[in-house]
Chain A
Amino acid sequence: MNICSTSSTASMGILPRIKTAWHRHNVSGYAFILPALLVILCLVAYPFVMAIYLSMSDAWVGTEGKFVGFRNYIDLVQNDIFRQTLQNSLVFTFFAVTVKTILGMALALLLNARIRFQRIFRGAILLPWVIPNTMSTLGWLWMFDPLFSVLNWVLKHAGLIQTNVSWLSNPYWAMVSIVTVNVWRGLPFFAITLLAGLVSIPPELYKAAHIDGAGAVRCFFRITLPLLKPLLLIVILFSTISTISDFNIVYILTRGGPMNLTHLLATLSFQMGLSGGRLGLGAAVSLFMFPVLCVVVYFQLKTIRGGATYD
């Protein structure tokens, strides 16, 4: 076989030889991914490496800066605002992702049930996700307005509150508010992805489980949840990453206030690095969670690979 092919290539012209090599080494495959690879290199890899370099320099806006090692990181750990921000980020991410997971699961189950106007509901559920982020958040800003907004008006007329709540300047309500907006926006992703997972579970499994004597609740915990686990973990993983790096919501609604109690890593990084001009420190803020996230991703992907598949 081998001998045969070498002898035949030797007798071939240059063009056929390229053609053979093209097919034999799957060159075509690499050729197809090359454009995407270039884009990723320019738009993701370069800025990423650049950020790592910046985070180890004392660069200000307009100056080159020189290498300072881990100085920025050490400064950050000792910085009260940063420590507060780190805590905010964890609280924000934990609650937002948890609520999104639970509500998303519930919504997916509802959408999967045989209901009227199912297609309309399935379409409508995506709306918060397709409206431009900044625009919908501005809408929320308006709703949270303590004096003139619909939210306080409704609550007051429903008799739930006596005086107007300052949603965005009360430390507790500010956090609740930004979590709420994040949940509102991220829910469709959970619901639709989990719905896709639910739809792909063979209905016979539920029939078998019904006959085996499992009611709705046990069906969910013994059949649905285990089968959705791999998908659920991926969704949670993606959501955790995008939630912890959220920027728009806080930047538009609270700007990190009151008293830095709603600052997230992205907004703090923006404030320190671009508004405050300390590029190096800003880069360090945004990279701070990177090693942690890497570890999380590693373990989650490992669990997913060991997960169940249908069939």
Chain B
Amino acid sequence: MAKLVVENLTKRFGSVTAVDRLSFTAEDREFLVLIGPSGCGKSTTLNLIAGLEEASAGRISIGDRQVTHLHPKDRDIAMVFQNYALYPHMDVYANMAFGLSMRGYSKAEIGRRIQEAAEILGIKNLLQRKPRALSGGQRQRVAVGRAIVRKPAVFLFDEPLSNLDAKLRVQMRAELSKLHQRLNTTIVYVTHDQIEAMTMATRIVLLKDGICQQIGRPLELYTRPVNTFTAGFIGTPPMNLVPARIQAENGKMMVATDGFRLPIPARWRQAYERLKSKEVIFGIRPEHLRGTREGDIAVDAATVTRLEVDLVEMLGSHVQLTLTCGPERLIALADPALPVKAGDRIPVVFNMDSMHLFEKREPQRRIDAAPAA
């Protein structure tokens, strides 16, 4: 149980900078998720925290200790690997006992801790088996068990669920969340699956090319992405992002693109005055774009645009529509009962209260209505 502080952490492999001046803090008992596309430096960051790689620059501390140059075994951390990394020649019991016996715990204490962990994870009946006689999910549990018997200050998980099938992944996700509550320790968890990040994290650190993009609570990243990268990365299907121009039109501010012209909500008009005739990126999530039928009651004419349907994907709970909007494609959702087929032109309601604006110039930062609210 401890706080993990990472300051200006940098790792270079030759000319590649895998991690670039990364700083974040995982508070005591926090479930911090590192997320980002493949190759963004998530595993490298975790290896640096674990001490499996030597940092090129920066500092790491766990609790009140500087651990930047300590050996992995002295950092009081435990790690769960993507491919589990169970010792193939040892049975489950020996796998879990290894770390403890290396640290000189007594036989009795080791036995007690393993029984306790096995109880929590439901693997009591597997203790005598070799890893190759276990299913993926069972190996996963053993790998977690090997970490928790050590009772470390910080747990490190590197994509622990990515080798499991979809159903098991959902189940293990819930179990890991529960385990976190039960163990009450700090966890740093790497994944590239944003659903895992959204559901499990207390806070998320989003990386791209080794550079931290945004740190925040899951909902914060979802509702106030700091740039178009975050906006596009968090959320499935991803946020629609289209180039647009802000125009003033008889007292209203409008967002204009090649496919539509829509008014900015009245309460933000003042604030967006400064953007008049500027090029921006307009962003809106699919769930805030609703495909409807002509003559539907709830349609306020001002926020409706008629767009052509390119593709209809029925997902049961809802229909996902791909719409043509000038040269761009927009994704919208609709009621599964909506009679719609490709080629139709339908009214689409834009929930402009949930719109986002970003600067056109890289790194396409968020433009807030009320700066620093």
Contacts and interface: CB of A to CB of B under 8 A. Distances in A.
B229 interface: no
Interface string A208-225: 111111100010001100
Interface stretch (A36-44, A199-207, A249-257): A199-207
A311 interface: yes
Contacts of A207: 47, 50, 52, 72, 79, 81, 85
Interface size class of B (residues with CB under 8 A): 20 to 34
A211 B88 contact: no
Given A207-B81, A311-B131, 11 more contacts: A207-B52, A208-B79, A210-B52, A210-B72, A212-B98, A212-B99, A212-B150, A213-B73, A213-B102, A226-B89, A227-B89
Contacts of B79: 207-208, 211
A207 B51 CA distance: 10
A210 B146 CA distance: 13
A212 B81 contact: no
A212 B85 contact: no
Contact of B81 (A204, A226, A308, A310): A204
A222 to B, nearest CB: 7
A84 to B, nearest CB: 43
A76 B131 CA distance: 52
B81 A227 contact: no
Contacts of B98: 209, 212, 214, 222
A99 to B, nearest CB: 26
B173 to A, nearest CB: 22
Interface in B102-155: 102-103, 130-132, 146, 150
Contacts of B102: 212-214, 218
A309 interface: yes
A211 B89 contact: no
B68 to A, nearest CB: 16
B83 interface: yes
Nearest to A229: B89
15 contacts: A204-B83, A207-B47, A208-B81, A209-B98, A210-B52, A210-B71, A211-B73, A211-B79, A212-B99, A213-B73, A214-B98, A227-B88, A227-B89, A308-B130, A309-B132
Contacts of A204: 81, 83, 85
B87 interface: yes
A210 B51 CA distance: 9
Interface string B88-104: 11000000001100110
Contacts of B81: 204, 207-208
Tell me which of A208, A226, A309 has the highest count of chain B C-beta atoms within 10 A of its own C-beta: A208
Contacts of A212: 73, 98-99, 102, 146, 150
A223 B87 CA distance: 7
A210 B98 CA distance: 11
B76 to A, nearest CB: 10
Contact of B88 (A209, A218, A222, A311): A311
Interface string A187-207: 000000000000000101101
B78 interface: yes
Interface in A234-279: none
Interface in A138-158: none
A40 B282 CA distance: 76
B348 interface: no
A200 to B, nearest CB: 12
Tell me which of A207, A209, A210, A214 has the highest count of chain B C-beta atoms within 10 A of its own C-beta: A207
A41 B311 CA distance: 68
Nearest to A308: B89
What are the 4 closest A-B residue pairs judged by CB atoms, nearest first?
A: A212-B99, A204-B85, A213-B73, A308-B89
A204 B146 CA distance: 14
Contacts of B47: 207
B72 A205 contact: no
Nearest to B77: A211
B83 A208 contact: no
Nearest to B102: A213
B191 to A, nearest CB: 17
A134 B73 CA distance: 52
Nearest to A214: B102
Contacts of A310: 88
B215 to A, nearest CB: 26
A142 to B, nearest CB: 47
A218 B88 CA distance: 16
A310 B78 CA distance: 22
Contact of A213 (B83, B89, B99): B99
Nearest to B52: A207
Contacts of A218: 102
A210 B87 CA distance: 13
Contacts of B77: 211
A214 B77 CA distance: 14
B73 A210 contact: yes
A208 B87 contact: yes
Contact of B72 (A202, A211, A223): A211
Interface in B17-64: 47, 50-52
Given A211-B78, A213-B99, A309 B72 contact: no
Contacts of A202: 83, 85
A205 B85 contact: yes
